[in-house]
A and B are shown apart, each in its own frame.
Chain A
Amino acid sequence: MTLSPTRFWAIARKEAIQLRRDPRSLALGFLLPVLLVILFGYAITWDVDDIPTAVLDQSRTRASRELIDAFRSSGYFTVVETLERPDAIGPLMERGRILLALVVPPDFAEDMGGESPASLQALVDGSDANTASIVLGYTRAVALSYSTAIAVEGQRVALPLTGESRVWYNEDLSSRNMIVPGLVAVIMMVIAAMLTSLTIAREWERGTMEQLAATPVHRLEVVLGKLAPYLVIGLIDVVVVTLTGVLLFGVPFRGNAVLLMILATAFLIGALGLGMFISAVAKSQVLATQLAMIATFLPAFLLSGFMFAIEVMPAPLQAVTYLVPARYFLVVTRGIFLKGVGVEVLRVQGLLMIVFAVVGLALATRIFRKRIG
């Protein structure tokens, strides 16, 4: 049987009508991405400032006050408690009132002038390792610039060596700029799988699968016809998420929008095909939802490099991430949004998107052949 556009169109229309009859699901398909961008944009930030700090100054000298002032004026620390006794630190930290406690020992001023170094204790709440290492980073920076200033007092240059750091692509290191482009990739994966993972399982549960099997259509026509309406929804979602990110949150968009849409289409076809495959394998909607979550949502979220850098994962896990298509699409979205790079850089990822689309379609079509026809 040759492929016929009429039959494809008929199936696409049937699927679209079915979708329209379930207006609440349809609404959720548009509402979810917008909600996600807004939540991520407004509520989520990794930026650490105003670190709640307690100070215990046992030295009570001019030198110790200068040191504490250096911390205050750095802008990263807010002194919320001034303590008298060391045992007050524990309860404060346990209750989460403070993240950092600075302890200046009694002999601080004498040591400052002497041969052995004076010491400053920094106690940090380590339970959130990420926040803790940022807090320690700022603490070290303040301590280092304080001691360097004293060490080189009277020398010709204030600082013998300076490192000028410059951040590219995301100049003010805002976590929003990191997250919104990544979100486009993650949302696509999730929405696509969520929309299609139930389509075929539903037909099995309702007993309409036999009808579809008895219809004289090519299986590729069924697959493409069933995908088409969801592809439209997915692409609208890409546009909505991108516009929200750029207009509402000022995330830069430096690359080519057409390229983004082309690669998004390929990625969506792959993800939708994967969703249909899951649906056909599961045959029941309960199993399909669980499989869709395991196969798409969690990997796209945690193994794509969206929030957790792939480079620091153990090698076997890094190998697993190569199987997560969102990983490649994430390079595309970040590249187009933030770096403004084009095909010359993204051609490998682009090719992989096309491979993913073909594999997705092939999986979905194959499973049809086994079950019907």
Chain B
Amino acid sequence: MGNAMVERVLEMLRKEFRQLFRDPRMRRVIFVAPMIQLIVFGYAVSTDIRNTPTYVVDHDRSQVSRELVDAFVASGYFQVVDASERPGDLVRALDHGDAIVGLVIPKDFSRDLETGQGASVQILLDGTNSNTALVARGYAERIVASFGARSAERDPASVLALEERAWFNPDLASRNYNVPAVIGVIIMLVALLLTSLAVVREREIGTLEQLRVSPLTPGELIAGKTLPFGIIGLADLTVITVVALLWFGIPLRGSLLLLVLSSVLYLLPALGAGLLISTVSNTQQEAFMASFLVFMPVILLSGFMFPVASMPEPFQWLTLLNPLRHFLEIIRGVFLKGTGIEHLWPQLLWLAAMGPALLWLAARRFRRAD
């Protein structure tokens, strides 16, 4: 009996794979595209500030003012794109988006600085990208302050030295933090979308009835409609994790076994949610949009780009129901911090509870539709 069941599920699996990969383009889309996506987006998801386009308006035109501009350039954070003496040009550059930072040095800058009267320079920032502006402002103010301290009797650097050390990610590469997250996002997208269309496709073409009158039990039918995508998800996950390690050189400090275990646990809720969408939808269009309706909050409330800690409290509670949030904590912990199961068990537990719960809901909904 058990054997017959395995036979039937395997047959169903074979059918699903054949149906999915009948179009050879599908193979490329499913296995090659995620690799390319990881590479492209791995480079894109950087919040480091470098070479910010800067416009200089130097009214002083002295040796000292040029040294200040040099200090900006030498920091590596700013790149002078143009200079002029008319403030109108600066306004135009900011309006057009040609420059993000404007540095205005007033006429008596060098005199005021040397006579100790207290000089000042103006830093104008385009705030449309609030993140860039915030970080650039910090750098600019620090460059100005330490430039000014040259003339002080006692260098502030000789008073207090700040020793900075960034843990887990010493060179503060945002890529190390974001690439593991992109893995989680891509896998969720593939698994959710594929599963969400699985049942509704048969319903739309009218072949669902055929499946129902076949000797498959509902449980076997569900297994046949989720397992293929679980297998695809795991294969994708393996491929792009290898790309992350080899191409981007992301350090893997923790246990590989823990990573595999958590990946399996993470795939289950994605499959469950997809199956649930598929059983309640009438058309593939609807299923597609519904998966998106699920997918967007999953991305936004996961801590992928926006730290969970800075969300309002109710949303922080809501994130606990988000499998991606837990997976990100695990995958970032395992990759960057080498965190072990002794710290990550709550996240694993959440994932382990969510997957079966969603699959059970989907199965119940599916049977009821009989």
Contact = CB atoms under 8 A, between A and B. Distances in A.
B339 A129 contact: no
Contacts of A35: 293, 296-297
Interface stretch (A54-62, A208-216, A291-299, A359-367): A291-299
Given A128-B177, A161-B121, A167 B133 contact: yes
Given A117-B158, A331-B97, A129 B176 contact: yes
B293 A130 contact: no
Given A94-B337, A124-B165, A147-B156, A339 B138 contact: no
A265 B343 CA distance: 51
B139 interface: yes
Interface residues of B, number: 120
Contacts of B157: 117, 147
B144 interface: yes
B119 interface: yes
B154 to A, nearest CB: 4
Interface stretch (B29-37, B208-216, B362-370): B29-37
Interface stretch (A4-12, A168-176, A242-250, A256-264): A168-176
A344 B343 CA distance: 57
A202 interface: yes
Interface string A273-305: 000000000111111011101100010001101
A53 interface: no
A134 B165 contact: no
A338 to B, nearest CB: 5
Contacts of A236: none
Contacts of B146: 144
Contacts of B149: 148, 151, 160-161
B289 A32 contact: yes
B69 interface: no
Contact of B162 (A120, A133, A287): A120
B301 interface: yes
Contacts of A217: none
A126 B26 contact: no
A42 to B, nearest CB: 7
Among A52, A124, A126, the one with the most B-chain Cβ atoms within 10 Å of its Cβ is A126
Given A129-B47, A308-B47, A294 B343 contact: no
B29 A157 contact: no
Contacts of A151: 149, 152-156, 158-159
B163 A120 contact: yes
A160 B164 contact: no
B135 A124 contact: no
Interface string B327-367: 00000100011010001000000000000000000000000
A3 to B, nearest CB: 28
Contact of A121 (B40, B158, B165, B300): B165
A168 B285 contact: no
B8 interface: no
Contact of A170 (B127, B155, B309): B127
A165 B137 contact: yes
Contacts of A190: 292
Contacts of A198: 284-285, 288
A164 B129 contact: no
B289 A29 contact: yes
Given A198-B288, A308-B45, A334-B128, A157 B162 contact: no
Nearest to B190: A290
Nearest to B151: A160
B116 A174 contact: no
B116 A157 contact: yes
What are the 5 closest A-B residue pairs judged by CB atoms, nearest first?
A161-B148, A126-B166, A170-B127, A137-B138, A163-B144
